Amino acid sequence: MSLCINLVFIETEKSPSERRVFTEALAKMGECRQLFEYSWILLSSSSDQEIMKNLKECFGKFDNAIIIISDFKQIECFGCDKVCQEIIQEFIHKRNRLNESL
């Protein structure tokens, strides 16, 4: 039985390079056994705690893991297991390498 991970990207700015490295990290993890579903939400303002709170309440009803990326600066993970944590660490590592090269 494969774990279905819902990824909700909350963006206020376009960042194709960071999105690419994150997608690559996901693809690497996906080769193991994961099935990923993507949701993209474009917001007009960043760090809206009320929106984050509402999303957490909504997604908290599901059993599968939810990863929320907010502006690629803040990462929140609800119901995460070890695989999810590895995905996040891989993304952070690749993002840091990307930032160092710029």
pLDDT digits (tens, 9 = 90+) for 51-66: 555 555 554 444 444 5
Pick 4-101's CATH classification: 1.10.10, 3.30.70, 3.40.50, 3.55.50.
Answer: 3.40.50
Looking at the chain, the number of H-run helices and the number of E-run strands are: 3, 4
- What element of type H or E holds 36? strand 35-42
Question: pTM for the whole thing?
Answer: 0.34
Mean pLDDT of the chain: 53
Q: Which residues contact 66 (CB under 8 A, 6 or more apart)?
A: 5, 6, 7, 8, 59, 60, 77, 78, 79
What number is the average pLDDT over the span 94-99?
66
- Given a cut of 60, whether residue 73 has pLDDT beyond it is no
Strands 35-42 and 74-78 come out as unpaired
Q: Structure tokens of 11?
A: 């963006």
Give the mean model confidence (pLDDT) for residues 35-48: 43
- What is the residue extent of each domain of the chain? 4-101
State the average pLDDT over residues 58-82. 51
